[in-house]
Chains A and B, each alone.
Chain A
Amino acid sequence: MLGFIHIAFPPLPALMAQLLIGLINGAFYAMLSLGLAVIFGMLGIINFTHGSQYMIGAFCAYLLLKFLGISYWWSLLIAPLVVGAFGIVLERLFIRHLYQLDHLYGLLLTFGLALILEGLFRQEWGSSGLPYSIPPTLTGAYNLGFMFLPIYRGWVIVASAVVCFGTWFVIERTRLGSYLRAATENPALVQSFGINVPRMITLTYGFGVGLAALAGVLAAPIYQVSPLMGSNIIIVVFAVVVIGGMGSILGSIVSGFVLGLIEGLTKVFYPEASSTAIFVIMAIVLLVKPAGFFGREFR
């Protein structure tokens, strides 16, 4: 950390490889911060359980394969539905009681839920990672000329970009999305037009949680499946959210990808700082642009 900084330009393949890793991490930051932003917009709570739900998504894929022989492709569909349904249960049982209270209590409650879930999974599967192999159709690599691109990594980037921009499209460009945005601004008024706002809130939470689970399934073959994978990533995602601000869907997607890339670049030029890079950027952003890049201040 405190050594001399040697900046030498690395060979192109090494640079591209780190940028690719950065882009992959960025894809997960984008999906998770998008889910946080969608949930926060509707429910007014910061979903600390998001990391656990991402972890459970990965476990879902692992368990489906191990015990039922269900393939990766079906897991991509089943895990978000199962975990999303579980999220809906959590919202109905616990979270809905907090809408009238200070936002802080939402954070505390979901933090408690995250502890419970993580503790249960750790009790059952320990802290070490479990391997989940890449589906056969996505193994191997393309030769791009200047580097080899593992097909699975390319798939993750494309898939998460499609999911993120699909979500953006639904929220910003469709009738359903306009209901959602309206209900975020003024739930009472939207309800008076005959739209069932409480159900919309519940489904929004389920959708956000499903996104986290989908990210978990995508992550399973890249990172190992471990009970700790969620809490490791969620704090970084919080920093991403502080930098981007939760006021904008597009903002949370863009800041996720960009910060992943910057983190990857740090790994090339100054690897000791790569784990702290995003936090340092957050501190700098707070100094120069306290509300974040796409920020709208919520209280």
Chain B
Amino acid sequence: MRSALAANLEVGFAGRRVLGLVLLAAALGAPFLFYPVFVMKALCFALFASAFNLLIGYAGLASFGHAAFFGWAAYVTAYAVKSWGLDPVSGILLGTALAAAMGLVFGWLAIRRQGIYFAMITLALAQMMYFVANEVAFTGGEDGIQAVPRGTLFGLVNLDDPYAMYYFVLAIFLIGFAIIWRTVNSPFGEVLKAIRENEGRAISLGYRTEHYKLLAFTLSAALSGLAGATKALVFQLASLTDVFFSTSGDVLLMTLLGGIGTLFGPAAGAVIMVSMENYLAQFGSWVTVIEGAIFVVCVLTFRRGIVGELARFFPRWFADGGTPR
């Protein structure tokens, strides 16, 4: 913990800058090396997992219901863009706003209980929103909302061009990631970590911890919504899969695999899982079995995750505030 903090203060360490630049260059060049829709999917889930990690990794709140924010933002954006003819940016903002509002309500209910009860409550609320999505007309039931137009960005750039769409998605990811980075490294983020480590102590220091937890929950939900809304435009589709609890499990696994409470871990976990699903798609239910096996292996032997383990050996390169527990 101490070494991690020390490394955190070492802003001038060149290695981290180099690492950042390499990652940025890789992101800029990726659509020329891989199928653009695949890289866009990876970016959406990387943002989703990073947003999820803001809650579980820094505030210590394990939500099992983030699919609700991801999936419902996708529905609202898809519907607004397709049926109301909204432009892509307004559509995405509307989806994000809905996810934030849902996050506010869910968070307000769920933070009344702690630990595993919190997980079960978020899971149950998300399942309720799944049934609602199944019931209401505008979501299209089993079919979902299909053939969502990507539209033109600010009336200038046609997003049907895969490269234009890719850099639009990359910009959204970077904005979302910057918000997360800023949050984690702010005084607010420090209070969140204090709550994660010892909530009673934080209360005794005079912090109204429930306000902090609620704000973190809302922010995490909003950014998950941003990811879902973007995904709806990438695939031109919003469907029941996005709101189903398996999506909440997926994002949890990405975060666990990459490293709970590390800045880059969840994004790395998302890229790995999305690639794996891509290559294993033809094996049907074996994907679920493998995902389950990764859960088991991570929990038993690998609780810090990939980036968390790397940070242990190369603290100056990766550390960003220490991993929980």
**Shortest distance in angstroms between B15's beta carbon and chain A's nearest beta carbon?**
32
Q: Interface code B122-156, partner A: CB below 8 Å = 1, 0 otherwise?
A: 01110110011011100000000000000000000
Contact A122:B127 (CB < 8 A) given known A1-B136, A107-B62, A287-B109: no
Residues A120 and B289 in contact, CB atoms below 8 Å apart: yes
Closest to A98 in B: B299
Q: Report the separation of the CA atoms of residues A49 and B114 in the bound assembly, to the nearest whole angstrom.
A: 21
Q: List 18 A-B contacts (CB under 8 A).
A: A94-B300, A101-B325, A105-B299, A109-B295, A112-B294, A112-B295, A112-B296, A115-B295, A118-B292, A236-B127, A238-B124, A272-B135, A275-B134, A279-B125, A279-B128, A286-B110, A290-B112, A291-B113
Q: Which residues on the A side are within 8 Å of B127 (C-beta)?
A: 235-236, 239, 279
**Shortest distance in angstroms between A127's beta carbon and chain B's nearest beta carbon?**
9
Q: Report the separation of the CA atoms of residues A236 and B128 in the bound assembly, to the nearest whole angstrom.
A: 9
**Shortest distance in angstroms between A240's beta carbon and chain B's nearest beta carbon?**
9
Q: Is B115 an interface residue (CB 8 A)?
A: yes
Residues A239 and B296 in contact, CB atoms below 8 Å apart: no
Residues B121 and A235 in contact, CB atoms below 8 Å apart: no
Chain B contributes a number of interface residues (CB within 8 A of A) equal to: 44
Identify 17 new A-B residue pairs, CB closer than 8 A, beyond the known A236-B124, A239-B124. A101-B303, A102-B115, A102-B325, A104-B62, A104-B119, A109-B299, A111-B249, A112-B293, A112-B295, A113-B292, A119-B287, A119-B291, A119-B292, A238-B120, A242-B117, A275-B135, A279-B131
Q: Which residues on the A side are within 8 Å of B110 (C-beta)?
A: 286
Contact A1:B296 (CB < 8 A) given known A102-B325, A118-B288, A286-B112: no
Q: Report the separation of the CA atoms of residues A104 and B115 in the bound assembly, to the nearest whole angstrom.
A: 7
Q: Is A280 an interface residue (CB 8 A)?
A: yes
User: Among the interface residues A108, A120, A280, which one has the most CB atoms of the partner chain B within 10 A?
Assistant: A108
Residue in B64, B113, B136, B298 whose beta carbon sits within 8 Å of that of A290 in the complex: B113
Q: Report the separation of the CA atoms of residues A90 and B121 in the bound assembly, to the nearest whole angstrom.
A: 26
**Shortest distance in angstroms between B33's beta carbon and chain A's nearest beta carbon?**
31
Q: Is A103 an interface residue (CB 8 A)?
A: yes
Interface residue SS majority, chain A: helix
**Shortest distance in angstroms between B283's beta carbon and chain A's nearest beta carbon?**
9
Residues A119 and B109 in contact, CB atoms below 8 Å apart: no
Within 8 A of A (CB), among B254-306: 256, 284-289, 291-296, 298-300, 303
Q: Which residues on the B side are within 8 Å of A115 (C-beta)?
A: 249, 288-289, 291-292, 295
Q: Which residues on the A side are within 8 Å of B123 (C-beta)?
A: 235, 238
Q: Which residues on the B side are within 8 Å of A282 (C-beta)?
A: 121, 124-125
Q: Is B252 an interface residue (CB 8 A)?
A: yes
Q: Which residues on the B side are within 8 Å of A239 (C-beta)?
A: 120, 124, 127
Q: Report the separation of the CA atoms of residues A298 and B298 in the bound assembly, to the nearest whole angstrom.
A: 25
Query: Which A residues fall within an 8 A CB radius of B?
Result: 1-2, 46, 94, 97-98, 101-109, 111-120, 122-123, 231, 235-236, 238-239, 241-242, 272, 275-276, 278-280, 282-283, 286-287, 290-291, 297-299
Q: Which residues on the B side are within 8 Å of A242 (C-beta)?
A: 113, 117, 120-121, 124
**Shortest distance in angstroms between B275's beta carbon and chain A's nearest beta carbon?**
19
**Shortest distance in angstroms between A288's beta carbon and chain B's nearest beta carbon?**
10
Contact A108:B299 (CB < 8 A) given known A239-B120, A279-B124, A279-B128: yes
Q: Which residues on the B side are within 8 Å of A283 (C-beta)?
A: 109, 125, 128
User: Among the interface residues B112, B285, B300, B303, which one has the most CB atoms of the partner chain A within 10 A?
Assistant: B285
